[in-house]
Every structure is written in C-alpha cells, then in structure tokens.
Structure 1
Amino acid sequence: MNAPIAYPHETSPAPGVAVTLVPGVEWLCMPLPFALNHINLWLLADGDGYAAVDTGFAQDPIKDAWKSALTERLLTRVIVTHCHPDHLGLAAWLEQETGAGLWIAQGEYLAAHMMVEQVAGYRISAMVEFFRRHGLDAARMDGLVQRGNGYKRGVPEIPATYRRLFPDQRLRIGEHEWRTIVGHGHAPEHMSLYCAELGVLISGDMLLPRISTNISVMASTPLADPLGLFLASIDEYLALPVDTLVLPSHGRPFRGLHARVEQLHAHHAQRCALLLDACRGTPKSAADLIPVLFDREIPDPHQTMFAMGESIAHLNYLEHAGKLQRIEETGLIRFVSQP
C-alpha cells in the first residue's frame, strides 16, 4: 500500500507573506475570484534574487500582495507552469514592475494568445456552438455569451517575448537544478518542476491533494482525449521518490504523491462507470450527464464551462476506449454504451 497523504503545514500563509518550506523555496498564497479561492505561488532562490513560479490572476489585491512580497526581494525571472489566468495573469505586469522575463512552454504561450485574441476555435462563439452540439440549453449558453472573454480579464496582457521551456529541460536556479516534466490533459504543455536534491516537485495543476484537476475538451480539438493524456501524465510522477514534497497550485503542500496518483485513477474510473451506466440503452448528451458527474448545482457560467468540458472529456475517453458509441443526428451529439 502506498504511503498516505500527509500535510507538513496546517495552514496556508496570508496573502503576500512568504513562508520558507525548504532552504531556497518559499510559499506565497494569493486569492482568486472563483469558488476555487486561492492559488499557491513559489519563490525559488536565484542568485541575488528569486525566480517566481506562476503569478496569480490579474487583480489589484493580488498586485498589492505581490508588492508586499517583493519589498525586500529582487525578482530574476517568472516561470509559468501553464497558460491559465491564475498562473499567467500577472506575468506582463511583473515584467513591467521588476524586469523579470517570462519562461514558459511554447504551446502555453501560443494558446494564451489564441484565447486572448479569440482566434478560430478559441473564440467564445466556437465554445458555445461546441457546447450546443453537446446538448447545452439556451439559458446556459446565453450565460456563457454574456460572460464574454473571461480569459482576457484574467490575462489582460501577455509579455511580448519569452524564454521557451522544453520537456525534460534542466534549469539551474540558484544553487539547485530543476528538471521540467511536461504534462498533458489540463493544458497544452503544462510544465512541472522537480528538484532531486531538495526532493521537491512543483506540480502546478497536474497533481492536487484534495480536488481533481479540471480536464476539458476544447472546441478547437473536439475529438481529443485529454483524460487519457492526463492519466498517462500523472503516472510519470510514480518514478519520483515516495517521500517527495509536492507543491501544488491549490491546497497545501503534501507528501504521498503515489497514493494521490492512485486516488485520481480510482476517481476517474468511478466517474466513467457512472457514465456507462447512465448511457446504457438510451443515448445521452454531455449536458444530460452533468448531474451524473457532479453532485452539486452548477451555479454560474464559469462552472458551466468547466462542467461541460469535463463531461465531454470523460465521454471522449470512453469512446476512445471502445466503451461508448458516438451518435450524431439533428445537430446533436449523444453517446450510448456499447453492448
């Protein structure tokens, strides 16, 4: 049996207050304007200053918290795990304030531009039409239209230049070497960072201790299998030592990554079993199946977007596995369990 999950810290730091975890690694916690109300950021000692890992959402209270954290610190560079607004949102502002340039994977940098600039399958209209074909009702589609480009509100500006991160790249940050580990399913080229000397994994959103990472199908890649990619990606963490300290983007730092990978596989297997039962005999759309996957109300367009993307991801995964059949008729997509 894998070692159970354990939390070395009972509480998270206040916004703008850096807490040392191991020598040369500090923890910042910033607020978020969502149901998921916080994000963890990391400061890595880097010569005379610090490299930041992720930035937070573009809001004034988070800028104020950064200013407090940087009162006696020099920022040398900004490493961003992936393109989502709570991770990339303040990269341009931090560069303007401190001169620290952006380090990010090319796929993440380009995806950010596609979403900000509303290109092709990354447009809001493309997402809404994609969800309509998967059965979303008019009222919830209208909510998504009225919400508009929420991504751009979180990422109002993207740095004009960047240093490209590659899979399995070795980064010398201060006295330590960190290795990039690419993960798929949650974002195009999500980059986690692992330091063998410190026994620390900065997992970003790929490995969270209490909630499951959102895995969504995008309108630009409607037949993709991001759940299959995600499950294969987290299995790569099993090669790391059992006592690795995991620094997640949400929730508290923890040990027990092998147990967490096992839990996530079990979680998604259970959800897939529920979907197969629900699709037995009568074809169902992704929108029909939201109540099967989520035992709570979906209160707003932001959560609707995640719920639809995740429902489609599980259905595509089961179709790829040969367990569901896709039926397309009258402009709608439904799935039925294979006999």
Structure 2
Amino acid sequence: MTDTEIPDGYAGLQFPWDTAPLEGQVTKVADGVLWARLPLPMALDHVNVYFLRDGAGWALVDTGFDTRRTRAIFEMLKAGPLGGDPITRVLVTHHHPDHIGLAGWFQADGAELLTTRTAWLMARMLRLDEQPLPTAETLDYCRRWGMDPEVLAKRATERPFNFADMVAPLPVGFTRLRAGDDITLGGRRWHVARGDGHAAEHAVLFEADGPLVIGGDQLLPGISPNLGLYPTETNADPVGDWLAACDRLAPLARGDHLVLPGHKLPYRGLPTRLASLKRNHVTALNRLEAHLETPRTGGECFAPLFKRKVEGGLYGLAFFEAIAHLQHLHLTGRARRETRDDGVWVFQRS
C-alpha cells in the first residue's frame, strides 16, 4: 500500500486521513494528540507513534527502533511540533523492538516507562541475550518443524536478529499496566485491556469517556500482524491466544472509536475490524486443514496461508506463522502429528 490511497479490502472502515505525516512532521488526530511516523528498515517500512499533551510535557506511545535516524527524527519533532517540551512518559504497547526500541533512551532522560509486565520482562531479557549465531536449540527447533534445509543451513551461518541491535538498554524499573486498570495519560482517562497472539500481554487502551483507542499491533487495519510460534515457548498457541483476544476485545468496541494503530492509517469501524481479524485466521485454519489431506511439514504449508510467493527476508516470518497455525490445529485435535525417521514432524488432518 502507498500512503496516498486507501487500498481495496478495507470494507466497513472509515479513514479520516488518507495520507500519513511526512518524516519529522505530525498530524493532529484529536485535541492534544499528535500522530507521527518513523521509518523501519524492512518490508513493513514504518511504525506509528503518538504524542499526548501531558501537563508541561508529552506522553509518547511507542518509540520505533533505536537508530541514529530515529533519534534524529525525535530531536526534530521535539524542536518543532512539540514546542521544545520534554517527553515525560512513554507508553509501550508491546515488547517488539519497533515499539520499545527507544524506551530506554527516553528513560535515561527522565521519562517514566509504562507497559505490561510481560512486555518489560521479554524486552529486557531479549535485549540482554545477544547471539552472534543461532543457538543449537533454535536450529534443532526449526529443523524439527520442517524449515527448508537450504534456508536452515544459511541461517546457521548468519547473525540472527538481536534486540541489542535495535533496542536501547532498558534500565531497571517500569510502571506496570494490567488488564482492567484505569489510568490517566495525556489528560484523558483510559481503560487497559489485554491483547494476545502477536505479542503476549499486549496493552490496548480504550479512552474511558471518549472515542480514542490505542491499538498498537493488535488492531491494525488491512493486515493481520504476524502470529509466530517461536522456540522461546515451544508449547504456546499464539493463534488460539489471538482468537481469544478478539473475543475479549469485541464487547469493548464501538463504531465511533478512532483507532490509533501501530502501522498503517488511523480508522473507524472497530467492531467490523475485530470480526475480520478473527475471521481471517479462522478461514486460514480451514484452508490449512484441507491442505493437510496430504501429510505436510511446516515448510510445506505456505500455500494455503499466504497469497504471494514467500522468499528472502520474508521466509522466517512466514515459517513461524505457518507452524503457529499447524500448532493450533494439532492442539485442538484437528490435525495429528507424527515424527519421520529423520526427526521432522509431519502433520495430517484428523
């Protein structure tokens, strides 16, 4: 998608803005609420951040990667549209590096960090766990799930993605957000709800007496975030967690809500979007189950899940998402798993 047009497939959603703010600029989305966009060096080439006027300073929602370019953009924003006032609080929706990357930098300058316990623990652990090469456990995990042998051999010789490469050091200490909490941020009262699936204990904030929703990556328009099964928690069920989160958030959604997502454009139509976010994975599971009429490994399950050829840098995300869907079918009894002579798991519909 380009930022100058609304793509097809967004039926039922309304977009108050059809373009994103340019680098170093902001768009006002509500009184005292500004939207900015930061670059990312990947296929999804941006992340949204939001500034809420908070007393004499600003509260920031999410932070982008820790790079020289991102730091320079923040300095430009502080000197320009933020009027030279400081960032005093940073709310991080979840632990992924494009959302928590610069939180520690702001903390070092005196800002308070607000996030969920799981997000803080995961980010701090991963920031400290630097790996020059994939661990033996990771390689064995990928092999057992059926990663393409050529891809696996190449990955074994390359530095994996490390949080230390894109996340500033996180000092000890944060303010915990819990589902059910009511907090004040930017002069507005917010109810904290819990997302899951894309990131454990993802914070979603609903304005208590107004239309704003801080959606992070839980409530994206047009695309579903990656639901990956990773070697950090081999018995997890991210797809099941995602479906449960959609059901949990649905009663809170209103048609007049203005969702401020972590990527793409702010939108209205949240009840419709939550229904489609659930339906997309339900139908994907059905397609995958039919695909398992013939026994398949995880690396042989891309076709029913993705609409384009998967290669290059997208292979890893696709692989971990495919095996997450296989895992859900297996855990819910819709597919059975057997071990081949070479130790690779093979799945077939029950």
TM-score (norm 2): 0.89
Does the alignment pair 1:274 with 2:281? Answer: no
1:81 to 89, 93, 101: 93
Cα distance in structure 2, aligned partners of 1:82 and 1:113? 12
* 1:133 equivalent in structure 2: 144
* 2:320 equivalent in structure 1: 309
How much does 1:321 deviate?
A: 2.2
Q: Which runs of 5+ in 1 are unaligned?
A: none
Q: Which runs of 5+ in 2 are unaligned?
A: 1-10
Alignment deviations for residues 207-261 of structure 1 (CA, whole Å, 9 cap, x no partner): 1101111111121322221111111112233222221111110110000111111
Cα distance in structure 2, aligned partners of 1:236 and 1:256? 17
Q: Specify the code of the residue in structure 1 equivalent to 2:270.
A: L
1:114 counterpart SS class: helix
1:51 to 59, 62, 68: 59
Cα distance in structure 1, aligned partners of 2:286 and 2:231? 25
**Deviating runs (4+, > 4 A) in structure 1?**
none
Cα distance in structure 2, aligned partners of 1:178 and 1:112? 24
How much does 1:276 deviate?
A: 1.2
| 230-239 or 197-206, larger mean C-alpha shift | 230-239
Does the aligned pair in 2 maintain the 1:116–1:151 contact within 8 Å? yes
Q: Specify the code of the residue in structure 2 equivalent to 1:63.
A: R
How much does 1:156 deviate?
A: 4.0
Q: Specify the code of the residue in structure 1 equivalent to 2:295.
A: P
Does the alignment pair 1:5 with 2:17? Answer: no
Cα distance in structure 2, aligned partners of 1:241 and 1:65? 34
How much does 1:268 deviate?
A: 1.2
Q: Specify the code of the residue in structure 2 equivalent to 1:217.
A: L
Matching of residues 87-236 of structure 1 within 5 Å = 87-96=99-108, 98-118=109-129, 124-145=135-156, 146-236=158-248
Does the aligned pair in 1 maintain the 2:127–2:162 contact within 8 Å? no
CA RMSD of aligned residues (A): 1.9
Cα distance in structure 1, aligned partners of 2:62 and 2:30? 18
Cα distance in structure 2, aligned partners of 1:251 and 1:265? 19
* 1:33 equivalent in structure 2: 41
Does the alignment pair 1:252 with 2:265? Answer: yes
TM-score (norm 1): 0.92
Does the alignment pair 1:67 with 2:75? Answer: yes
Does the aligned pair in 1 maintain the 2:103–2:168 contact within 8 Å? no
How much does 1:167 deviate?
A: 1.4
**Alignment size in residue pairs:** 331
| 124-133 or 83-92, larger mean C-alpha shift | 124-133
Identity %: 33
Does the aligned pair in 2 maintain the 1:30–1:39 contact within 8 Å? yes
